[in-house]
Each structure stands twice: as C-alpha cells, then as structure tokens.
Amino acid sequence: MQIFFLALACFLILNILAGLWRVVQGPTPADRMVSAQLFGTTGVAILLVLAQALEAPYIRNAALLFALLMIMAVLSFVRKSTPKQGQAGNIK
Amino acid sequence: MALFLDILVAFSLVAIAWRIMRAPGHFQAVVLFITFGLLLSLAWARLNSPDIALAEAAVGAGLAGVLLLDTLRAVAQPGKVKTGAHFSWLLLPCLLLAGLLTLSIIHIQPDSQGLARAVEAGMQTTSLEYPVTAVLLDFRGYDTWLELGVLLAAVLGLLCVRRKKSIRAPLLPAPAEPVGRWLISILLPLILLVGGFLLWLGAFAPGGAFQAGVVWAAGGVLLWQAGHPSLGALPVSLWRTGAVLGFALFWLLAATALIRNEPMLTHPQAKAWILAVEYAAALSIAVCLTSLAIGGQKSEDRNQKSEVRDQRSGDRCQITNNR
C-alpha cells in the first residue's frame, strides 16, 4: 500500500512538472497564475498522499494551510490587474 | 519508490530554481517562486520535519506570493529584463560554497542523532510534551526572544524608511475589492480557527507560535487586500501592544529571573507560563508580519507629497479621536 501511495505522489509531482510548461510558455500572466493555483491543488493532494505513505499525520496540516492560503496570491494578482489601477497588461 | 520520489523532488527543486534565475520576466519568476515554495514544503514533509513543512506552507502560500506580487507592482517597468549575464563572476564563489557544503555533509555520520539525545534527556525538566516547542521556548528561549526582537526591529526600520510616524499609518486599507470582501466572510473565520488550532497543537505536536502567527498575519493581509476598514479602525495603542507583547513577556521573564537571583530566562516550570509566552509570541509575530507585509506598500495613484499630507491629516484625526 505504501508503494502505491508513493507512486501516486510521484505521478502528481510529474503532473506539476508538466504544468510548468504553461508557466514558462505563458503567454499571459493570468495563464501563469492559474497554473500556479492548480499546482496548489496538486500540492495539497501530494501532501495528503505523503502523510498516508510516511504515516506522518501532521503533514496533513501543511496540506490544510496550502488549501487555505493559496488564494492569497490570486487575490493580490486580481487586485493588481484591475483596470482602474493602471494598465493591466504591463506586468508580464 | 521512495528513492525515485526523492530524486524527483530534488530534481524539480533545482530545475525550478534554475528557471527562476533565467526567467525572461519578473512575473514568471514570481509564479515559479510560489511553485518552488510548494515543492520545498513537500521536500520538508518527505524529510519528516512537519514543523518546517508547516512554516514553509504558511509563509510560501500566505505571505511570500502577496509580497512578491506587490513588490512587482511597485517596481514594474516595461521591457525585458537582463538575466544572469553579468552575474557570471559569482560562479566561482558559488562553486566554492557548494563544495564546502558537500564536504560538511560527507562529514556527518549517517547514524548521527545530532542534538536529539540531549533534547530527549532534557525533556524531563520541562513541562512541555513536544521537543521542538520545548527547544524553542524553554531550552533556547534566548533565540526565540531575539528573533522576536528582530521582527520588532524590522517593523521599526520599515517605519523609518517609509517616514511614517504612526505604526497604523501604513494600515489604511487598499481600494475596496468586491471579490475580496466576499472571500473575507468565507476565509477569515477559517484562518483564525486554523491559526488557533496550530498554536494549541504546538504544546504537544508539530505546530506552534510561528506557524500560527504567520497564518494570522495572512488573515491580516487578506483584510487589508480586500479593503476592509477593520484594521485601520483598531486603536493604535492596541496595535503597538500586540507588536511588542511577545518581546515584552520574554523581557519580563528575564527581569524576574534576575530578581529571584536565578540564571536569566529560567522560569517557574509552569505550563501556563510557557503557554502564555507562546501565545503572546504568536500574536506579536502576527502583528509584526502584517505590518511588514502591508506597511511597505506605496499608494499608487498619489505622489509622495500628497501621501505625506494625507498621513498628517490622518494623524491629526487620530489625535482628535484619542481626545
């Protein structure tokens, strides 16, 4: 069972690595931001799986923190690119 | 399989770090840095250090992204950024440092326990059940005290650099943001709850003052980001008290030990006393980090002069309010 969880964690990390292509390619800041958010979701899943695989239940709290706080960067990003505060496009 | 996972995480960390340095735009580097924090937290979790994984998760997700994105706005400049080219002279020092670090790793015994045995032996003398918290608050209270002092000094330094007289002046909220207002009602109760949970957990499990303080600070930043007036409405004396409380309690501890003619920072072995210090430290960390995260903000659509003038009139209002 442990091997299954570890394999699952590896697969999810590979998912993040594949998603990095979108961050590198862009082309707009929104694309990059959204992929970072999806990494946050994947990261939560990896931490949960790891907690199970390593039998370290307190790792779940780290997953909880990511689930709770990943939105902060998006909020900052949205605030940043609201049109009334200057040009949205100049932050690439 | 575990080895494959380790190699994968290590490879991803190095690859992302490399890409951060070579990224053609600042924004891409910021997004990559957020991802880097995520993977770093994974690495700490894999290394069986849930305390550091928690701290990294809280700082990486809650504060670092916001700080970097806001900094990006402050320094935003059109055009491409030169990357890497003129830093080639750093290659030799970096290689040297890497060599030294590798050497020191080789010298660590594979079965080395580090200081774990010493801590285990000391656990009988403390009333805390969790070794990491015991080290932070009991065995090495000096370090924690000085760290709180560093945070406080950073806040004071920020006030000096920004030429603000009042600690509350930087807390005037950002422009109102409807999405943020909506988020507050969902997230803020959870943030307060999870912060309190981590603080409570610290007495006997991974968690503690720093992690809780960071989570609460993220809540403060959330309030500010959404343009909620509550932070600005707090009495400034309360804000100041919160910022110095942790440092002051440690100071009190040291002073009373002096009067009782004992070595500095030894304290009566009461769990209540240690927990009081920890809770105060969490509050101070939250207040200081919030001040640091949002105090450096420059309002965008005004120039410096009008900002100062606004701030002065703000101070005057504050004085009349205090009367």
Q: CA of A69, closest CA in chain B: separation in Å?
A: 5
**CB-based contact, A50 to chain B, within 8 Å:** yes
Rounded to 5°, angle at Cα B223 from B221 and B227:
110
Determine contact: A49 vs chain B, CB below 8 A: no
pLDDT value of position B322: 43
CB contact under 8 A, B57 and A50: no
Which range of B160-169, B223-232, B303-312 scores highest in mean pLDDT? It is B223-232
ipTM of the complex: 0.86
- Chain B residue with the nearest C-alpha to that of A61: B54
Counting the structural domains of chain A, the total is 1
Query: Are A39 and A19 spatial neighbours (Cβ–Cβ below 8 Å)?
Result: yes
| pLDDT bucket at B129, cuts 50 / 70 / 90 | confident
Phi, psi of A21 (to 5 degrees): -55, -40
Q: Is A41 in the B-facing interface, judged by CB distances under 8 Å?
A: no
Question: Would the CB atoms of B215 and A23 count as touching at under 8 Å?
Answer: no
Q: What is the pLDDT of residues B91-114, one digit of tens each?
A: 899 899 999 999 998 888 777 777
The whole domain housing A53 covers 2-82
* Domain definitions of chain B by residue range: 129-323
- φ, ψ of residue B109 to 5 degrees: the values are -65, 140
Residue A91 maps to a domain: no
pLDDT in tens, B170-205: 555 556 667 777 888 889 999 999 999 999 888 788
Instruction: List the one residue out of B314, B283, B147, B311 whose CA is nearest residue B220.
Output: B283
Tokens of B306: 């009008």
The shortest C-alpha distance from A88 to chain B (Å) reads 11
pLDDT at position B323 is 37
Does the pLDDT at position B136 exceed 70? yes
As a whole number, mean pLDDT of residues B77-84 equals: 55
In this complex, the residue of B28, B225, B301 whose CB is nearest that of residue A79 is B225
Summary mean pLDDT of chain B:
79
CA–CA distance, B25 with B27 (Å, rounded to integer): 5
Q: Which residues contact A45 (CB under 8 A, 6 or more apart)?
A: A12
CB B151 within 8 Å of CB B210: no
Cis bond before residue A27 (omega within 30° of 0) = yes
**Token pair recorded at residue A31:** 């694309």
Radius of gyration of chain A (CA): 16
Q: Considering CB atoms only, which of B25, B183, B300 is closest to A75? A: B183
Residues of chain B with C-beta less than 8 angstroms from the C-beta of A14: 8
- Within a domain: A92: no
> Distance of CA B199 to CAs A1, B209, B211, B219, B277, Å?
33, 6, 8, 15, 12
CA dist., res. A40 & res. B34, Å (int) = 9
Does the beta carbon of A1 lie under 8 angstroms from any beta carbon of chain B?
Answer: no
In a domain, A89, yes or no: no
Q: How far is residue B197's CA from residue B205's CA, in Å, rounded to a whole number?
A: 11
Distance CA A63, CA A51 (A): 9
DSSP string, A7-72: HHHHHHHHHHHHHHHHHHH-SSHHHHHHHHHHHHHHHHHHHHHHHHHTT-TTHHHHHHHHHHHTHH
Cα distance between residue B19 and residue B33, in whole Å = 10
Token duo for residue B261:
């003619």
Q: Which residues of B174-210 are buried (b: 16+ CB within 10 A; e: fewer)?
A: beebeebeebbeebbeebeebbeebbbbbbebbbbbb
Q: Which residues contact A8 (CB under 8 A, 6 or more apart)?
A: A49
- Listed by number, the residues of chain B in 190-209 with a beta carbon closer than 8 Å to a beta carbon of chain A are 190-191, 194, 198, 201, 205-207
**Model pLDDT for residues B271-311, shown as the tens digit of each residue:** 777 888 888 999 999 999 988 887 766 544 333 444 444 44
